[in-house]
Amino acid sequence: MLTHITAAGNSTAILDYSFNDLQASGQLVYYRLVQYDFNHNKENLATLAIRTYCFDPKDVLVIAPNPASDKITIRFTTHLAQKVNMGIYQTNGTCLKKMQLDTVDGENFSELDIAELSKGSVYLVRIEYGNVQLQAKFLK
Cα–Cα distance, 117 to 93 (Å, whole number): 15
**What's the pLDDT at 9?**
78
pLDDT in tens, 32-45: 888 888 888 898 88
**What's the pLDDT at 111?**
94
Residue in 56, 64, 110 with CA at minimum distance from that of residue 83: 110
pLDDT in tens, 14-25: 888 777 776 665
26: alpha, beta or left? (left if phi > 0; alpha if psi -120 to 50): left
Q: Would you say residue 54 has pLDDT above 70?
A: no
**What's the pLDDT at 24?**
65
Confirm whether pTM is higher than 0.75: no
Q: Which domains does the chain have, with CATH numbers?
A: 1-54 (no CATH), 62-139 (2.60.40.1930)
